[in-house]
Amino acid sequence: MSINLKTRGLVFATFFGSCMIIGLLVAALTTEYWIESEARHKKVPEGKGHLKFGLFSGSKNLNIKFGDRFNTTDVHSLIRDDVLQYTWWILTSLGVGFGLLSSFIAGIASVCRAASASKKRGTMVILFVSNISSLGAQATALIAWGIQFYKSLFDNVLLIDDVNQGWHTKGLARFGISFYFVVIGSVIALFNIILLIWAVSVERRQMRRYNSGDNDENKGAIMLY
């Protein structure tokens, strides 16, 4: 017995969700907006600055009445100066990476499942595992970065050299758009799982109706006999 069109449609809808997650996580990995912060100078009230950085690089603009000073920053410098804690950074990076890989597998599996008329469970199992893995990996990244933020970044996102020159960012940092890309990706992964549960429910109802019809036919044949 083949799967019906409604089940195929629900499964195929998860393909678009997986594609959206892939796009969001690629953007999260490549953009520099995991953290944004204003900077203030302790001795010069007019001194202002802005910083932003992602998982691998960032930039800062510090202005102490002598014009803007743009500089790039790499994550190794932030880890070296204890701005970032390595454990939470690597968990965040791996979480986003595994979420991306899981969503890629989920996208391929959804197309294979929707295109197949067979009711074999293997592909559906892969779909559930990959989508749950994607959600779990993204949740790990979000939790790790949240811990990173409240343990260290909330108080300071500046390198030691900048701190020694009188700059501070205490209480001025915030999550950037790159972080929220992963939040949205997690919501979509959860929605994909709900669609898959719905698809399985539809498939089971169809199977019960099919089996019930067979039983009725068998009973009718026995009565005629």
Q: Note whether residue 99 is domain-resident.
A: yes
Q: Note whether residue 36 is domain-resident.
A: yes
**Model confidence at 51, in pLDDT bands (50, 70, 90)?**
very high
Among the residue ranges 1-15, 23-37, 185-199, the one predicted with the least confidence is 1-15
| Residue 9 or residue 25, greater confidence | 25
pLDDT in tens, 181-221: 999 999 999 999 999 999 998 877 776 776 665 555 554 44
Long-range contacts of 193-197 (CB under 8 A, 24+ apart): 193/128, 193/131, 193/132, 193/135, 195/10, 195/11, 195/13, 195/14, 195/17, 196/10, 196/11, 196/14, 196/124, 196/127, 196/128, 196/131
Structural domain total, the chain: 1
Q: Identify the CA nearest to 111 among candidates 8, 193, 7.
A: 8
Q: Note whether residue 188 is domain-resident.
A: yes
pLDDT in tens, 135-147: 999 999 999 999 9
**Model confidence at 169, in pLDDT bands (50, 70, 90)?**
very high
Q: Note whether residue 35 is domain-resident.
A: yes
40-56 mean pLDDT: 91
Predicted local distance difference test score (pLDDT) of residue 67 = 67
Q: Note whether residue 215 is domain-resident.
A: no
105-109 mean pLDDT: 96
Predicted local distance difference test score (pLDDT) of residue 205 = 79
pTM of the full predicted structure? 0.86
Domain that holds residue 120: 5-207
Domain with residue 29: its CATH number is 1.20.140.150
